[in-house]
Structure 1
Amino acid sequence: MDALFGDQPIFGFGPDPLSPHPPRSVDAVGDASIDGLKAKVIQSCPRVPGVYGMLDRKGNLIYVGKSKSLRSRLLSYFAASNSQEKGGRIIESARAIQWESQPSEFAALVREQQLIRRFEPRWNVQGVPKRQRPVYLCLGKNPATFFTISRPSKAKTLKQLTSEDCIAVEGPFYGAARMNAVVETLNKVFKLRDCGQKQTFQFADQLQLFDLDHRPGCLRLEIGTCLGPCAAACSRAAYDQRVSAAESFLDGFNHEPLDIVQQQMETAAANHQYELAGRARETIKSLEYIDRKLKLLSQARRRFTFIYAVPGHDGCGTWYLIHSGEIADCIAAPRNASEYDAIQDKMKSWASMTASQLDRGHGAHPHTLSLVASWFRKNRDELDQRTFAPHAAWDGKKGPGKWTGKRVVV
């Protein structure tokens, strides 16, 4: 195996910050031929949930995936019907496969997201890929707030981006070209500036020593798509009112952009301006995408604050603390009354932590919001069957809940 991977083999996926259980072993198989690799997968890969990584001949991790059945998923890459698809191209480049079992499909999903963010495998299209990096829609940058897109890096996390530059950050979204068009439309609809930070701004109610005429920095004031904070054409209060409307859009409550562009398209079509109507239609498609995503994230923040009890096929069950839609913490699920009594201090801490709503993007793991929202949208039954409020496991007035062996009863 050492000859196959060269001088720097990659074995193992590293620590798992969102697993309360001991580190899990990683198994790996390798072969110079696709048939040989398939035979080794058949021989040793189990039918359990987990994550897997494809490695090339130099030992570089080129793809990360997850599955509720590792064996079935990995064998699908070798199917003849898959040879011309993405999976077939990945397996042609692979010379080894490593996998790490997980106690549940949800744990595998969380682990996959971590690994994609950490290693940035070149064949992963979503996560943090080379070809399509996620972007975030930002509302910020004083003194005149406006919409921009940003790509948080390892040097500047999403939380740092929010606290330093922006009053609101939402995402992730995919497709930088589409999002650039969305940003342009949103700034026009809400009449916010989109000029550079070197532009000088002067609001109408801002005191000045001399009575000067301020020239606008572009044509947008003249055509009515900007309030003109650079030319003292609006007051600070008037501009902030439009910023508040823009923030409401990010919260999923304001559909003004869609309504305005829809009206523009209908007007253009009625006036036989079909090229203009066509451009408006493409803009609507982008706005509908972002509107759906914002609704999903907003609902998750408002609704999803609870403990999510996920059983493990190997006895390694996990209690995840979901706070305002984000994974905030986790512990090993108690298996008996004594283990339940032992976690009462943690339950008290969780009950206190979730007493207030979490601001957008300010949790320890803000990137998990989209994952949690998507998971519960696809697995609605889990909300009723496996979630309960933190205070149900601890209540300062009533004392600890009663452990029944299966669930908590207060």
Structure 2
Amino acid sequence: MDGGEIRMVTKRKGRKKRHSQPADLLNEMGETVAETPDTSPAEDAGDQANDAHQVGEAVAGYELASESSGESVADTAAWRGPSGHLDHCPSGVRVPVPAISSHLIEGFGPDSLDPYGGRPGDMVGASDRKGLRAKVRTLCPPVPGIYGMFDRHGELIYVGKSRSLRHRLLSYFGEAARKEKGGRIIENSRAIQWETQPSDFAAQLRELQLIRRWTPRFNVQGVPHRHRPVYLCLGRKPAETFFLASSPPATDCVAIEGPFYGAERMRSVVDALNKTFQLRDCSQQTVFQYQDQLSLFELSPRPGCLRLEIGTCLGPCAAACSRDEYVQRVNAAQSFLDGFNDEPLVAVRELMESASANQQYELASRARDTLKSLQYASRKLGHLADARRDFSFVYAATGYDACSIWYLVRSGEIIDVASAPKDRDQYQLLRPTLKKWQSLLGSRHQRVRVDQPHSVAVVASWFRKHRGELKQTFQPEGAGRRYHRLSHHRADAL
């Protein structure tokens, strides 16, 4: 067996799958490889039965085969899978947990907004609700953090956050949650992993970060369309247009706003914006040609739809406008996203009033619905615009475990973090960073693309709901006074 390979059969999703792994890799994974036995058959049987019991607990959904199955536990370790078939492995070799995703092995992944380089966490697993609940009650702390639910195959199926992890997780096991979405999640869960966060604000940022990274199915599937987050984007050259995206596109966008909750409603918003600003809404496969664009042959391209004829599109596909004319409309659309242009609201309201006056009630009804959607988008964009205009500072988020974090907020977006200094030496080390932050805030009116565009929505919502937290903000040049004031408070507390 030395240096050789051990072939074993594991079970996943009701199908047998054969794995081949070197003996030393099994040892690294913590698996026990049997050598020449020096013990009696009776002792072997006891050890193997104990191994079988341990693995049977670890593999959710699998149960140890009963003696009535006709198999001898002394000869082979046997498990009965969900399909009722038996899976076997050679005597003396522990069956590993079925192949699981990297989420369960390596945690939730790196956190770019954690200056401390890692947060405490834990994971519990059980084969039934009662066992899982008991472990959560015993081990999970009542502090802020995020949590993830894993199914029997080790796939991350849901991510959530709470200001009290223990209370939130225990709520999934209550009778009231059985008929709700939480009941469906916990029924499919065989393991729960959590990661503490120093504050509720940090937990919100981490939750959105993980949902974007892993897209767990219960964070997407089963969520009504009216609650699904989407991003309102303006881009896609050579003829920019409004469109929706489930996550912020990495390239080819003039502006990205969101997230907005309500995909169906936002589709009507996109339709109204493209018509109001006379931007195209055709496929990206369409061939576009502007009036001032040189062509080898003198052709007369025809539009692919009626929008050019009815005046709701400039017709970049039919050489009906120049590139400069189209760019002017794109700039006007971008000013609407920035909260400085209410042209769509005025146009749709005038259409509704005109249709109503002419007794075109069906048209007036559609215009009214579109106006409501635009007002929703305008209100949300207004909140984001206020955050970009007013929120440029350092936010000192106090941690429950003394792991406080200073967030650099520039035009409403978090662009850097640092651990709050706890003594004079740490403050001196932080001074170069504070000088850099002061320079960054000096150009805060110039919008820049950041790695986490969703943070502006979190920041705007957080300070709108927690006005008192604005007292925890300061400018980088005032960090010294802030640090000395906190030092005096800590000294008084001691």
Identify the TM-score tier after normalising by the shorter chain.
0.7 to 0.9
Change (3 A) 1:373 1:403: closer
Q: Distance in 2 between matches of 1:209 and 1:23?
A: 60
2:130 paired with 1:35: yes
The answer to whether the 8 A contact 2:301-2:318 is kept is yes
1:72 is aligned, of 152, 158, 167, to: 167
Change (3 A) 1:177 1:339: same
Between 192-201 and 280-289, the greater mean CA deviation after superposition: 192-201
Q: Which structure is larger by alpha-carbon Rg, 1 or 2? A: 2
Q: Report deviation, 1:213.
A: 5.8
**Hey, what does 1:3 align to over in structure 2?**
59
Q: Distance in 2 between matches of 1:176 and 1:403?
A: 45
Change (3 A) 1:47 1:238: same
**Hey, what does 1:23 align to over in structure 2?**
118
**Hey, what does 2:484 align to over in structure 1?**
404
**Hey, what does 1:120 align to over in structure 2?**
215
Between 52-61 and 303-312, the greater mean CA deviation after superposition: 52-61
Q: Distance in 2 between matches of 1:311 and 1:91?
A: 32
**Hey, what does 1:94 align to over in structure 2?**
189
The answer to whether the 8 A contact 2:269-2:373 is kept is yes
Determine helix, strand or coil for the equivalent of 2:435: helix
2:411 is aligned, of 316, 324, 344, to: 324
**Hey, what does 1:362 align to over in structure 2?**
449
The answer to whether the 8 A contact 2:392-2:409 is kept is yes
1:199 is aligned, of 287, 290, 302, to: 287
The answer to whether the 8 A contact 1:27-1:100 is kept is yes
The answer to whether the 8 A contact 1:337-1:405 is kept is no
Q: Distance in 1 between matches of 2:237 and 2:290?
A: 12
Q: Distance in 2 between matches of 1:292 and 1:94?
A: 38
Change (3 A) 1:382 1:212: same
**Hey, what does 2:139 align to over in structure 1?**
44
Q: Distance in 2 between matches of 1:3 and 1:138?
A: 44
Between 224-233 and 84-93, the greater mean CA deviation after superposition: 224-233
Stretches of structure 2 lacking an aligned partner (at least 5 in a row): 1-56, 62-96, 489-494
Q: Distance in 2 between matches of 1:147 and 1:192?
A: 8
**Hey, what does 1:388 align to over in structure 2?**
474
Q: Distance in 2 between matches of 1:84 and 1:351?
A: 52
Change (3 A) 1:260 1:125: same
1:260 is aligned, of 347, 353, 373, to: 347
TM superposition score normalised by structure 2? 0.72
Q: Report deviation, 1:214.
A: 5.7
Determine helix, strand or coil for the equivalent of 1:221: helix
- Provide Cα deviations, 1:324-363, integer angstroms capped at 9, x if missing partner: 2111111111112232122111111111122212655602
Q: Report deviation, 1:103.
A: 1.4
The answer to whether the 8 A contact 1:137-1:148 is kept is yes
Q: Report deviation, 1:306.
A: 0.9
The answer to whether the 8 A contact 1:192-1:227 is kept is yes
Q: Distance in 2 between matches of 1:147 and 1:120?
A: 24
- Provide Cα deviations, 1:152-176, integer angstroms capped at 9, x if missing partner: 4xxxx64x32xxx232222223444
Q: Distance in 1 between matches of 2:315 and 2:308?
A: 5
Q: Distance in 2 between matches of 1:107 and 1:402?
A: 21
2:108 paired with 1:13: yes
The answer to whether the 8 A contact 1:123-1:129 is kept is no
Supply the AA of the counterpart residue of 2:289.
F
The answer to whether the 8 A contact 2:159-2:207 is kept is yes
Supply the AA of the counterpart residue of 2:313.
C
2:451 paired with 1:371: no
Q: Distance in 2 between matches of 1:328 and 1:407?
A: 26
**Hey, what does 2:232 align to over in structure 1?**
137
Change (3 A) 1:270 1:323: same
**Hey, what does 2:335 align to over in structure 1?**
248
Q: Give the RMSD, CA atoms, in angstroms.
A: 2.9
The answer to whether the 8 A contact 2:232-2:245 is kept is yes
1:170-249 equivalent positions in 2, closer than 5 A:
170-197=257-284, 198-203=286-291, 215-249=302-336
Between 192-201 and 39-48, the greater mean CA deviation after superposition: 192-201
Number of residues of Structure 1 aligned to a counterpart in Structure 2: 391
Stretches of structure 1 lacking an aligned partner (at least 5 in a row): 394-399
Supply the AA of the counterpart residue of 2:124.
V
Q: Distance in 1 between matches of 2:267 and 2:274?
A: 11
The answer to whether the 8 A contact 2:290-2:323 is kept is no
Q: Distance in 2 between matches of 1:135 and 1:360?
A: 21
Change (3 A) 1:206 1:20: closer
- Provide Cα deviations, 1:96-138, integer angstroms capped at 9, x if missing partner: 2221211111111122122212221111149x99998643322
Change (3 A) 1:358 1:59: farther
Supply the AA of the counterpart residue of 2:59.
A
Supply the AA of the counterpart residue of 1:330.
V
The answer to whether the 8 A contact 2:241-2:274 is kept is yes
**Hey, what does 2:48 align to over in structure 1?**
none
Q: Report deviation, 1:307.
A: 0.7
Q: Distance in 2 between matches of 1:251 and 1:403?
A: 35
Between 181-190 and 236-245, the greater mean CA deviation after superposition: 236-245
Q: Distance in 1 between matches of 2:235 and 2:169?
A: 44
Q: Distance in 2 between matches of 1:345 and 1:209?
A: 58
- Provide Cα deviations, 1:47-95, integer angstroms capped at 9, x if missing partner: 1111111122222221111111111111111222222111122112222
The answer to whether the 8 A contact 1:51-1:108 is kept is yes
Determine helix, strand or coil for the equivalent of 1:32: coil
Q: Distance in 2 between matches of 1:3 and 1:212?
A: 68
Change (3 A) 1:40 1:145: closer
Supply the AA of the counterpart residue of 1:387.
T
Determine helix, strand or coil for the equivalent of 1:222: helix
Between 169-178 and 261-270, the greater mean CA deviation after superposition: 169-178
Determine helix, strand or coil for the equivalent of 1:171: strand
Between 128-137 and 288-297, the greater mean CA deviation after superposition: 128-137
Supply the AA of the counterpart residue of 1:77.
Y
